[in-house]
Amino acid sequence: GADMLERQLHTCRQVALDFSQVDILTSPGVQLIVALEKTLTESNGALVIREVKSAVAEVFSDLGFERLLRTAS
């Protein structure tokens, strides 16, 4: 469950999320991303969010999370 996922996250160096199908970002989604980034940062990892639509990118920007956004490479 969640405990196993959290233990595995502590061994990850980078987690990439594909947001190409995400049209809106709600408060629970933001909370999950904040918690995920915190967990990864504490273990010297990084969260990368790819393929973000402009409306969702605006939410990230408003929250000061634009550093998480990556363009496709």
Which tens digit of pLDDT belongs to each residue from 48-67? Answer: 888 999 999 898 888 888 87
- The tens digit of pLDDT for each residue in 36-47 reads 888 888 888 888
Instruction: Give helix 27-42 / helix 2-9 axis angle, nearest 10°.
Output: 50
Give the residue with greater pLDDT, 2 vs 12.
12
Q: Is the pLDDT of residue 30 over 60?
A: yes
In the predicted structure, residue 3 carries a pLDDT above the cut 70: no
Q: Cα dihedral angle (24, 28, 33, 37), rounded to 10 degrees?
A: 160
Q: What is the pTM of this model?
A: 0.72
